[in-house]
Structure 1
Amino acid sequence: MQPSVSKALSNAWEQIAVNIVAVVLAIAVGLTVGSNPYIIGLVVILMIAASNRMGWHGVNLGIVSIIFILDAPPDQFLEHAISRALCIFIGLVVALTINRVLAPPRYKKNFRKKLYALVYDSSEFFLDSLKHYVDSTSFNSYEKVKPTLLEKQLEEVTELYEHAREEFSSKDKMQLMERLLELCRGFIERGENIEEMTRQRVKRRQAPDSPPQMGQGISKEFQNLLDYILVGKGILGALRDSLYLSFTYVPATPLQTLDQDFWNEFDLRMDQWQKHFSGVYFLRATMEVAVVATEMRWASKRMRSSYELSIKKNDLQPLEESKQFLQENPGVSGGPKE
């Protein structure tokens, strides 16, 4: 028995090969040389060497076959060998039948459930990192949030995917599953980068050699820029909610993205801030804002492409149920959740 049908098939063919080699080797040695503990040990060593040479991993069953055959009385070699081989082959057939027909492993449903949950959780971590960056102007110290649990979830979902992919058909949108895995990985990595950048920003602002105005708050222009990052965070949150709902329901609200109008306003606020400040210290702040903007642009594009793949599915619920879901779950309404 194996965790997937393909693994069961692969393991079955390997065990068949191992048993054939073990039976032939044991019979040949038993009929020509005889049998005693030393000969059994030597044949086992030869079997292990042959298995390593061929790259087989199921050598244990072959060793058992060798011992059973060579441990039999001389006049029962062939009968014992045939009996043992038949038992092994029958066992392989039974295991394959169970794996394939009676109790096939069902990973698809569990994989989807955990993947969709990870999409939401990892995106929440990314959106929170944006909020932490904006709020960092009021922090005296900051300990970045580490996505340890999310990384474990991603590892678990990736492992489930390797098993579940055999159960997917052409209707299940494998491309969407792969895109969502990439999206989750990106949310975690980029959110962690912003968290580290926030930690460094707080440390730099509290350093003794920071400009005098650092102790006097921030400029109006820069605050306007930070406020607009929060606007973008809200739009990304609405886009995430639309993507999450599209896994099950027909979209009930228009899709919100960071469109060109958003970035035009962002650039305008950026220019207004940069007119009043210059120098190496403020250059680093400019670079940080540029990094945040780049990550937000990435998130918007990736979620939109995933959304477009998701709504092509044919097994979505009616529009009325989508509206009912939104009414019953106001926290997932397409708007920012603070």
Structure 2
Amino acid sequence: MQQVYGSPAMLRTAEVERPQPGAGQVLVRVRAASVNARDWHVMRGDPKIARWMDRSVFGRRGPANPVPGGDFAGTVAQVGDGVTDLAVGDEVFGEAVSGAFAEYVAVARGLLDRKPANLSFEEAAAVPLAANTALTCLRHVGDGERVLIIGASGGVGTFAVQIARARGARVSAVCSTRNVEAARSLGAHHVIDYTRDTVTGRYDTVLDLAGTRTLRTLLRLVEPTGTLVLSGGGNFDGGSWFGPVGLLARGQLARPFVKPAIRAPLAEQTPQALTELRDLIESGLLRPAIDRAYPLADTPAAIEYMETEHARAKVVITVAPAS
């Protein structure tokens, strides 16, 4: 848990009361969780402007909720009043507001669903936030469209490559040298190593997940009738006031004055989205890619790796082994 903003070293293991599910909630025994860029943003209170944007997540001096973690997979331990379609022992996955880096988490029924049958708990925990973000960003993509994904080897990017491919798009992936083969294995038709080659050409959709290029540079890669999608989480570089929010804001301000459409969609977790992702997974069209797994006691190391080492694919946390 964490009381004040800071580095992963601020996180402490502590005994807390087992949460109780309220009406419409489900208590989940967490088997695995996963780390997202959102977790280190909340942990550090970075960018600083976020501390004034969403007080349900960001407090002034520390996170609003001391136990971090969103994505999880586990088994139902108890159901609250009004929950009739799940029973104790059912395997589920979903995205909590917070508290998933723990043995138990209480979650609204609308934020979880039944776990894909063909995934382990660790694999299922890697899905909710990242895969739903990719799905939300690419809903407009149709068969035969040319899609460029910048940041294709990250948590969201690995899902985005597969989802764009499943929607019939011609996918070009941008990543570093060490991730070229991984991007190809996920289904990218063309891979651009940004450490060696310049990204050129024009595409029907450009999905920027890196947040490192200027808006002007990104717009040059989009057809006038195309769409630029901004969803970059960035990497920690010592702290900032605006971080990726700056690029998103510039994109919104430029929308009325440029020909390509600019979107910065917010992924809302719903049972319908989780069901759609589960169907894609069980049909073989989507599979989570995992970089590393850490035990719960090493959660600080998992977050540090995520925020500083440009993690390939997803970083997961094993909370309790399946029995």
TM-score if structure 2 supplies the norm length? 0.25
User: Counting strand residues as a fraction of each chain, which structure ranks higher?
Assistant: 2
TM-score if structure 1 supplies the norm length? 0.24
Q: Kindly name which structure, 1 or 2, has the bigger radius of gyration based on alpha carbons.
A: 1
